[in-house]
């Protein structure tokens, strides 16, 4: 996801998109730093996204 494709700032989706990118970058760092394997990494990311969705509702 690139910055040009982010929804407008007043859009509720904007906060979610920014949060998602933050989680994604955090996951990449976790993979590089902690040596998480890609399958556990994607599962971890899915859980993080679900948490965000639950909080957003």
Domain-embedded: residue 3: no
Domain-embedded: residue 5: no
Q: When comparing pLDDT for 18 and 40, which is higher?
A: 18
Contact status, residue 43 vs residue 27, Cβ threshold 8 Å: no
Residue 25: domain span: 12-55
At 3 the pLDDT is 54
Domain-embedded: residue 23: yes
Q: Is the pLDDT of residue 22 over 70?
A: yes
> How sure is the predictor about 1, in pLDDT bands with cuts at 50, 70 and 90?
very low
Confidence (pTM): 0.33
Contact status, residue 7 vs residue 17, Cβ threshold 8 Å: yes
Total domains, the chain: 1
Q: When comparing pLDDT for 46 and 3, which is higher?
A: 46
Per-residue DSSP letter, 11:
S
């Amino acid at each position: 996801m690139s910055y040009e494709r982010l929804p407008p700032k007043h859009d509720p989706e904007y906060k979610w998109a920014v949060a998602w990118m933050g989680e994604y970058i955090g996951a990449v760092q976790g993979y590089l730093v902690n040596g998480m394997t890609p399958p556990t990494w994607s599962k971890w990311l899915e859980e993080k996204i679900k948490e965000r969705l639950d909080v957003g509702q």
